[in-house]
Each structure stands twice: as C-alpha cells, then as structure tokens.
Structure 1
Amino acid sequence: MIICCGEALMDMIPVAQPDGRNAFVPHTGGAIFNTAVALGRLGVPVGMISGISRDAFGGQLAETLAANKVSTDLLVRSDLLTTLAIVHLVEGHATYAFYDEGSAGRMITVADMPVLPADTSALYFGGISLVSLPAADAYADLCATAAGKYPVMIDPNIRPSFITDAPAYRARLDRMLGQADIIKVSDEDLAWITGGAGSLEDQAALLQAKGARFVIVTRGSEGAMALCDGEVAHVAAERATVVDTVGAGDTFNAGVLGHLHREGRLSKAALRDMSAQDLAGALALGARVAAVTVSRAGANPPWAHEI
C-alpha cells in the first residue's frame, strides 16, 4: 500500500452566476488528497495520513477517499475546522489562497502519527502540509523515520504566497529532499529551490546531489524529464484541451507511482537498479493521466478504464 501523507482540504472553485458574479463551490481537494484519489482510481492500493476534521467538510473528505478506494484507517480526526483553499482561475491556470490557521490538518503533531501498516510499500509527501507547524514537523519526522525502510517520493508543490518563514521551510524541505528516493518538481518549483541558475538539467542535478535516485521535472505543455546519474529521459505532454490545471501535477504523480507499483519496481532496491530511461514509462503514464485531468474541471483524475 502506498501511503500519501499530507493535506486534505476543500477547494473553493469559482463558478460564474447568471448575474456575472462568481460563487465559490466547495470541492474536495489538496495536493496529497488528489494524488491519493488518483491512485485509488487507478486501482493501486493506497491509504492516507492526514488531519481531518469532524465537521461537515471533513466528513465529505473522508467519504470521498473511501468512495475512491483510498483507505481511511490512518486518518487523524479532530474537532478543529477544515482547511479552505480559495481558487482563482485565470485562463485555466489556478492560484490559491489558503485559510489554514488552527485547522485539523495543520495541527496534527508527531504524537498523532499512526503506526504504518505492515503492507506499506512506499510513502508520498508534499504540498502545503510541509510548510506550517506543527504539521510540517510531524510529516518531516515521519519521513525521517520511514525513509530507511520504504521508498519516499516528495513533490513540494511550492506555494510561495503561503510560506511565512522561508528559511525554516527551506531547511526542513532540504532535509526531506535528502531522504527522498524520487523528487518531483515543476520547473517553477525547481527555480525556487535552486535559484534558477543554469539549465534545467543543471538545476535538477543540484537536487539529485542531495541523495535522490531520480529527479523528475514537469514543464506543463512541454512535457517532463527525469534525471538519474547524469542521464536524462524526456517524455512529451499528451495533447489535451485544457479546461483548468487544478490537480494536474498531483495526478501526474499518481501515474508515476502507479506505474512503478504495477511493474513491481516500487522498492528501494528496484529503484537503485533503474536508469532514467527505465523511468520513461512511469513519466508517460503520468502525462497520460494528467492530460485527462486538465481536460475537465477541477481535480477529477481518470479511472483505470478511462486510460
């Protein structure tokens, strides 16, 4: 079972009204939540660790996970409120404003972390759950504890406007990236982390030097690349009519993890024996499922029968 560790929240999506104004409609979301749902829809055994409220939105989040074949056994329930993400769309491109102070997701602690089940095969981290305390330290501690035994994939999915203490966030993220087997970043994330000097390959090499076996860089319509030991593999983006980009990267990550699971390569030993070219099939599935997601509104990843 792949364990997705991080935020589950409500995306408030703008919907045009007859009078020309926008109303915001709640949809289940969050980067880590979206990846968990996408994995479940692909038929991959998956569970989620997250702080979930007992309020109506928290109930909706838990129900959505279960309906999409994601185990809810590891959720940490509390009476705190659910995080809200106000989504702004400009020509289909999404930006976010988060309402997260004192939320069920943010206030999860090291002591709250459940014991990993015996059938755990890999852990996935990222998103805004790595930014704010105490949740960020709780996930960092889990990553440090588990990384020696299980493959770890991290997608920081950086939201600069949400980061209030950049030095502390950078230090925490740097430690976690050093424990990861697979690092996935967008080209924008990569520039934020490295400073943006040099080519994408040069920047990716800086990340791989921290210890990861693979660094994957996505470039929107330009496709994706994977770097391993100086070798680079490229995969083109799938053609799609873009409605919006909500959940595209999260779905891509599910495609990568799902392919590795399906091929029996989601172990630390198997990953060590793989080259960048060996990862091309995982990138291709990531591109394929992401293309479906961007072709319809919101984070709505495909089921296995759709691909």
Structure 2
Amino acid sequence: MTAPLLVIGEALVDIVAPAKPRNGNGKANATPGGSPANVAVGLARLGVPTELVTRFGTDPYGDQLGAHLFGNGVQLAPGSVDPHFRTSTATASLNAAGVATYQFDITWEPPALSLSRGCPAVHTGSIATVLEPGASAIRAFLESIADQPVTVTLDPNARPSITPDPVSTWAAVRELAALSDLVKLSDEDCEFLCPGLLPVEIAKELLTAERTQCVVITRGGEGALGVSRETQVEVAAPTIEVVDTVGAGDSFMSALIAGLEQRGLLGETRLAGLTGDDLRDVVDYAVKAAAITCTRQGADPPTADEHAAQWGS
C-alpha cells in the first residue's frame, strides 16, 4: 500500500456493565470503543495501515482513547483530537447471553475530510453516518470521491436509540449504500430497517445500485451471508463460549476489509474480479475474527497472529 486505508467515524468510550460480575466486583468497565474506531484498530491489528478521522477531547476518556489508538498503530487525521471537545460515551448493558444494548452520549462533527493519493479504501458507518452535522459531511465527501480509484465500504450499524424512525433511516442507508462498493449489515439491522424482508431480499435490493458490488449480512451465532450479483455464500460460525458481543461486528468488518486487501481487491479495482471462492474465504475469515472477539471482554479484535493461531492461516 502507498497510503493508509481511511476510516471515518466516531471514537468513544464504552462503559460496560456486565450482567453478572466477571472481575470479582461487578463494576462497570470503561473501554475504548465506537464502531469506526474499533474497525480502525481491527484493521491495524491485522496488518493494514490505517488512518482514522474522528473527534474526541483531551479529557481522561479522550486520553484513554488516544493511548488505545496510538498503541495499536492507528494514525489519527489532523484535527481528530480537540481540546475543546468532550469525549463521547456509550453505556452498554449486557443481558445474560452477553448481548449488548447501548445508550449514547455523543456529539459528532468531524474535522475536514480529504483523500490521500494512493488510499486504497474508505470505510465509514454507524452513528457517524446518521448524526448531524457529521452525517452530511460524510455524504458530501463520498459524493466528491465517487470518481476516484478507491473502494468504499459501509456498515450502517443501526442504532434505534439515536434514529428511531426506520423509514427515514433506511432512506439514508440506501443513499450511502449507492455510494459504496460493499455494504455490511447485521440481521438486527435488517429487522429494524426493513421488517418483513428476508436478509437476502435486502441484499438484492441494495445490489440494484450501480456501484454496489457486494452485501454481507452477519447473523450472530449462525454465521454470515455474502451476496454479490453473481453468487451467494453462507458461512457458519464456529462454536465458542461467548463472554460478550461488544465489538464483534466491528471485528468482522475489519477482517472483511483486510481479507479483500490481501486479495488485491481494494483500490481502483473496486471489488472487480471478486469470485464466489473469494467471497466465501473473506466472509469465513471475518466470522472467525468476530468469534475471537466474542470470547473476550469488550471490543478487543484479534491480531493477525492470534487469528492464525486460533484458526490457521
């Protein structure tokens, strides 16, 4: 790569209250998070040079975020650390199965967005794509790079507590998806955004956009579905003991992008040449990355070495 992959979106601190004590005292744990930030860390841990455009403060939570991102090799774009900005938080409550629900205290206004020469891909998603004023800035940026030799990936990561109207949220997702080469959804996203439609029906609807080449839908413990115009693959999830699901979808997203990068499918190719075997392999790689995260507390994506040690190369 001649330039790092670009990730745009929120970085925040997850305040996780376990359903039952795991550390002996049952106290909430504050850990770095935010879907795009998690994806950036996951990519860096998998060996993909990554730059994150975000916004957080220099308060204690911001210091924690900065140390986490720098410590994992994520570059921060200019303006991402702002002493006048209060670092956002997400309070995650876990049920008995370790599944998280969130309440957010967040403000989103990114610094100036630009594309470096040679950048192979841009990833965005989650709250950053629906919360103003940042959402409009991201949409305008993606429109401005529509003719550039760069692959765009999107993970809407629907948050009903922030965007409770599924109709308007789906319209916004469709608009961004049409500017993206790959869209990743979860089964929960599908149920919220398009109740009554099967995941494969939603995927095929998104694939009617001229640019969109691939849609991947995660299904929790059942694995994931990958759909392109030419093929459809289903990948089962391995059997694991779940600690919690915090950050699992983000680990999946980062591994999906990393798998595509390893196959030379990013950049100006924009997924051209993606075969059914490629799609199955990258989805399988991503499912297994997410599985590792589910065996650990909080958003803790695996390194390339950890993935290889657990599942083989």
One fold, TM greater than 0.5?
A: yes
- Report deviation, 1:77: 2.7
- Report deviation, 1:168: 4.8
SS at match of 1:86: strand
Distance (Å, rounded) in 2 between the aligned partners of 1:252 and 1:75? 28
**Which residue of 2 is the match for residue 93 of structure 1?**
99
State the percentage of identical aligned residues.
32
How many pairs were matched up?
298
Distance (Å, rounded) in 1 between the aligned partners of 2:261 and 2:238? 22
Q: Judging changes above 3 Å, is the alpha-carbon distance between structure 1 residues 306 and 145 closer, same or farther for their aligned structure 2 residues?
A: same
**Which residue of 2 is the match for residue 54 of structure 1?**
58
AA aligned opposite 1:13: V
**Which residue of 1 is the match for residue 227 of structure 2?**
227
Distance (Å, rounded) in 2 between the aligned partners of 1:147 and 1:279? 24
1:206-225, aligned counterparts within 5 Å? 206-211=205-210, 212-225=212-225
Say whether the 8 Å CA contact 1:74–1:114 is kept in structure 2. no
**Which residue of 1 is the match for residue 285 of structure 2?**
285
- Report deviation, 1:215: 0.6
- Report deviation, 1:214: 0.2
- Report deviation, 1:17: 6.6
1:6 maps to which of 6, 9, 23: 9
AA aligned opposite 1:158: A
Structure 2, unaligned runs of 5 or more: 308-313
Distance (Å, rounded) in 2 between the aligned partners of 1:52 and 1:192? 29
* TM-score, L = length of structure 1: 0.90
**Which residue of 1 is the match for residue 32 of structure 2?**
28
Say whether the 8 Å CA contact 1:50–1:74 is kept in structure 2. no
**Which residue of 2 is the match for residue 83 of structure 1?**
88
1:226-265, aligned counterparts within 5 Å? 226-229=226-229, 231-265=231-265
Larger strand fraction of residues: 1
SS at match of 1:274: coil
1:147 equivalent in alignment to 2:143: no
Say whether the 8 Å CA contact 1:247–1:293 is kept in structure 2. yes
Distance (Å, rounded) in 2 between the aligned partners of 1:260 and 1:75? 29
Distance (Å, rounded) in 1 between the aligned partners of 2:113 and 2:128? 16
Distance (Å, rounded) in 1 between the aligned partners of 2:177 and 2:166? 16
Between 1:178-187 and 1:135-144, the stretch displaced more is 135-144
AA aligned opposite 2:105: Y
SS at match of 2:56: strand
Say whether the 8 Å CA contact 1:35–1:251 is kept in structure 2. yes
Say whether the 8 Å CA contact 1:194–1:206 is kept in structure 2. no
SS at match of 1:76: coil
- Report deviation, 1:191: 3.0
SS at match of 1:152: strand
SS at match of 1:77: coil
- Report deviation, 1:69: 1.0
RMSD, matched Cα: 2.0
* TM-score, L = length of structure 2: 0.89
1:116 equivalent in alignment to 2:122: no
Distance (Å, rounded) in 2 between the aligned partners of 1:299 and 1:3? 20
Distance (Å, rounded) in 2 between the aligned partners of 1:190 and 1:164? 14
- Report deviation, 1:160: 0.9
Say whether the 8 Å CA contact 1:47–1:74 is kept in structure 2. no
Distance (Å, rounded) in 1 between the aligned partners of 2:28 and 2:288? 29
Q: Structure 1 segments of 4 or more deviating over 6 A?
A: none
Distance (Å, rounded) in 2 between the aligned partners of 1:122 and 1:33? 15
Say whether the 8 Å CA contact 2:152–2:180 is kept in structure 1. yes
Q: Judging changes above 3 Å, is the alpha-carbon distance between structure 1 residues 187 and 252 closer, same or farther for their aligned structure 2 residues?
A: same
Distance (Å, rounded) in 2 between the aligned partners of 1:120 and 1:17? 44
Q: Judging changes above 3 Å, is the alpha-carbon distance between structure 1 residues 248 and 183 closer, same or farther for their aligned structure 2 residues?
A: same
Q: Judging changes above 3 Å, is the alpha-carbon distance between structure 1 residues 193 and 166 closer, same or farther for their aligned structure 2 residues?
A: closer
Distance (Å, rounded) in 2 between the aligned partners of 1:94 and 1:175? 28
Distance (Å, rounded) in 2 between the aligned partners of 1:165 and 1:225? 26
2:46 maps to which of 15, 25, 42: 42
Cα displacement string for residues 286-307 of structure 1 (whole angstroms, at most 9, x for unaligned residues)? 0111111000111111111112
